[in-house]
Amino acid sequence: MYIVIVGAGDIGMPLIDIATRSGNEVVVVERDEKRADHVAGQYDCMVLNEDATVNNVLADAGIEQADGLISTTDRDATNIMVSLLAQEYEVPAIVSVVHDPEHMNVFRQIGVNTMENPQELIAEYLYRAVARPAIVDYMRIGDRAEVFEIRVTENAPIAGKTLSETADEDLLPDDVLVVAIERDGQDPPLTPQGSTRIEVDDLLTVYSGFGATPDLTDIFGHPEDRVY
């Protein structure tokens, strides 16, 4: 893909690293000279030490052939302007960071995909890692629902039972679904069926309509989450 990345700060730098390592053709627009020089010296990509909101800068970045643009600057006003300019060039995929939740509606109204306040997301993730150690990884969906990964312990009520049996015994609520199982020696992960038996040390990917509450993590053998 041809990707234009605006901003080479705390968010932009790891994004540039991922995009270039994945074999994409990447163009970076960064107004700070030191940051631009750093990117140019470290990554195999085109770097423009320019302001992306200035006329013709995005054109110089090859925006007309871009498959996607990602704006990562620390100013929402700049990200909005860059996104609007990208829309004028009909870039297929436009994504932006949003720092102030009050600006979210503006981005939605102009039809831009967003990632809300990455600092808060990181802080929440770090807090969850300490407060809810049973959860290996998670993603929030809406206000309450979550998709998370959790490992089955030998004391788990669900261990040794098929998914059909867990339903018959009302072990898992109706709005909880096991969507994937990672098991040693099996690749790719299993797609669960009613007859699939849950084994100790399975790493489950779980959807919960009400989140990963302590009552739910108990079922997978993690009462330690109740400490918090």
Q: pTM for this one?
A: 0.66
pLDDT of residue 102: 86
As annotated, the residues of the chain forming the CATH 3.40.50.720 domain(s) are 2-115
As annotated, the residues of the chain forming the CATH 3.30.70.1450 domain(s) are 122-227
pLDDT tens-digit readout, 11-64: 899 999 999 999 999 999 999 999 999 999 999 999 999 999 997 999 999 999
Whether residue 128 has pLDDT greater than 50: yes
pLDDT of residue 226: 54
122-227: in CATH 3.30.70.1450: yes
Quote the DSSP letter at residue 187: S
pLDDT tens-digit readout, 161-188: 999 999 999 999 999 999 999 998 788 8
Give φ, ψ of 117 to 5 degrees: 25, 80
Q: Which one has a higher pLDDT value, 96 or 108?
A: 96
Quote the DSSP letter at residue 152: P
Whether residue 129 has pLDDT greater than 80: no
pLDDT of residue 228: 46
Q: Which two tokens stand for residue 11?
A: 């968010």
Which CATH number is 2-115 given?
Answer: 3.40.50.720
Q: Which two tokens stand for residue 100?
A: 């102030």
Return d(Cα 210, Cα 154) in angstroms, integer. 25
Q: In terms of Cα–Cα distance, which of 144, 141, 80 is closest to 114?
A: 80
The vertex-187 CA angle with 181 and 191, nearest 5°, equals 35
Average pLDDT, the chain: 90
Half-sphere exposure of 98 (CA within 13 A, CB side): 18
